[in-house]
Amino acid sequence: MQAFLSVDDLAIAFPRPDGERETVVDGVSFSVSEGEAVGVVGESGSGKTLSALAAIGLLPVSGRVVGGRIRLAGQDVLAASEETMCSLRGRAVGYLSQETGGALNPVRTVGFQVGEAARLHLGLTRRAAQERVVALLSEVGLEEPLRVARSYPHQLSGGQRQRALLAAALAADPQLLIADEPTSALDTITQARLLGLLAELRARRKLGLLLISHDLGLVARMVERVVVLHAGETVEEAPVAALLAKPAHPFTRQLLTAAHTGEESGGTRGWGGEGRRGGALEWGACRFAPRCPEAMAVCWRARPALEAVGAQHAVRCFLHHSAEEPHA
């Protein structure tokens, strides 16, 4: 099946104060087929959100895609005009960010903000857009949708605001929803309800889902395939069952242990700290080597490639392919 969204060997750079560019993502690959649910898992700073934003043409202004390919709904994202990208954002893909209190405009009603996407992408009249807003707010499980539509964001709870953001992301009936840490600002009960709602919406709308999270346990319950990112690159990709039964990359094993014990996997230690600038990315070594209990000599002098180890299962690690043929 052809991927609805495919990101292949993506590289993203930002300017440094000294005028040089710093590459913060280099080697991210993932894809989502129509109606499929895929999880992207990694620590803070691993490139999850930047890669998702690049996929929909919404990188921060100083960021540049400096390598790789992105295709969305048959379009080459890196060559598409802003007009094409505007149309794709909304009709092809909706983006649900973490509700941080600033994701909605505080001086506009919720109804206006949800309706804006419907008016923009579907060309609805004001009245038709109002009716659609009420239907969308109701679909995402908000009681008294008319009252919610007339409310300002500060008059709603965090869980209600997140549902309103979800309604806005779905306003133009996209085929794919990108949900970026959608529950991390919510309490446990509200989180569980929102995840239940996402599963219902997927089934009802035949919606594809790209779920981004630091929590492998949460992602594994929601998706069919998982992509693990570490230090700006994809290190493993596999169907959920294969990943849980036989994780191939030492970092994935650490994430699984963390998911079972409820502990952090070690933060960005060895990467965001001493490993980053002038570190593994620039030496052409395995970026996980500073933290890897199984590191070998070759891991410090060559960068492993992402290679298949089974059906739909790929890993970037010298434990699984020949260290005799290092990939710089």
**Interatomic CA distance for residues 134 and 148, integer angstroms:** 9
Q: Helix count (H) and strand count (E) of the chain?
A: 11, 12
Task: For ligand SF4, give the closer residue by CB, 131 or 294.
Answer: 294
Q: Residue 266, class by beta-carbon neighbours within 10 Å (0-12 exposed, 13-18 middle, 19+ buried)?
A: middle
Letter string b/e over residues 213-235, b meaning 16 or more CB atoms within 10 A of that residue's CB: bbbbebbbebbbbbbbbbbbbbb
Check residue 227 for interaction with ligand SF4 (CB under 6 A): no
Identify which range of 25-33, 62-70, 139-147, 313-321 contacts ligand SF4 by CB under 6 A: 313-321
Check residue 248 for interaction with ligand SF4 (CB under 6 A): no
> Total residues at the site for ligand SF4 (CB under 6 A)?
14
Three-class SS state of 169: helix
Identify which range of 35-43, 54-62, 148-156, 281-289 contacts ligand SF4 by CB under 6 A: 281-289
Instruction: Pick the binder of ligand SF4 from 27, 57, 182, 250 (CB under 6 A).
Output: 250
Instruction: Pick the binder of ligand SF4 from 286, 306, 314, 321 (CB under 6 A).
Output: 286
CB 323 within 8 A of CB 289: no
Check residue 255 for interaction with ligand SF4 (CB under 6 A): no
Residue 52: C-alpha distances to residues 31, 56, 92, 126, 211 (Å): 11, 7, 14, 32, 10
Residues 51 to 110: which contact ligand SF4 by CB under 6 A? none
Six-digit token pair at 62?
A: 């100083």
Residue 304 gets the label, from left (phi > 0), alpha (psi -120 to 50) or beta, of beta
Instruction: Pick the binder of ligand SF4 from 289, 306, 314, 326 (CB under 6 A).
Output: 289
Dump strand ranges (E) for 266-328.
307-310, 313-315
Task: For ligand SF4, give the closer residue by CB, 52 or 289.
Answer: 289
Check residue 256 for interaction with ligand SF4 (CB under 6 A): no
CB 53 within 8 A of CB 258: no
Check residue 271 for interaction with ligand SF4 (CB under 6 A): no
Check residue 317 for interaction with ligand SF4 (CB under 6 A): yes
Instruction: Pick the binder of ligand SF4 from 57, 182, 304, 326 (CB under 6 A).
Output: 304
Closest CA to 222 of 50, 35, 38: 38
Q: Residue 85, class by beta-carbon neighbours within 10 Å (0-12 exposed, 13-18 middle, 19+ buried)?
A: middle
Instruction: Pick the binder of ligand SF4 from 299, 306, 314, 321 (CB under 6 A).
Output: 299
Check residue 41 for interaction with ligand SF4 (CB under 6 A): no
Please report which helix (H) or strand (E) contains residue 18, including its range. none
Closest CB 220 distance from ligand SF4, rounded Å = 21
User: Which residues make Cβ contacts (< 8 Å) with residue 314, sequence separation at least 6?
Assistant: 234, 236, 237, 238, 306, 307, 308
Task: For ligand SF4, give the closer residue by CB, 175 or 234.
Answer: 234
Instruction: Pick the binder of ligand SF4 from 36, 51, 318, 321 (CB under 6 A).
Output: 318
Closest CB 168 distance from ligand SF4, rounded Å = 40
Instruction: Pick the binder of ligand SF4 from 59, 120, 244, 319 (CB under 6 A).
Output: 319
Torsion of the alpha carbons at 103, 10, 91 and 120, rounded to the nearest 10: 50
Identify which range of 16-24, 199-207, 238-246, 283-291 contacts ligand SF4 by CB under 6 A: 283-291
**Interatomic CA distance for residues 5 and 31, integer angstroms:** 5
Identify which range of 11-19, 93-101, 128-136, 291-299 contacts ligand SF4 by CB under 6 A: 291-299
| Binding positions for ligand SF4, rule: CB under 6 A | 249-250, 286, 288-289, 292, 294-296, 299, 304, 317-319
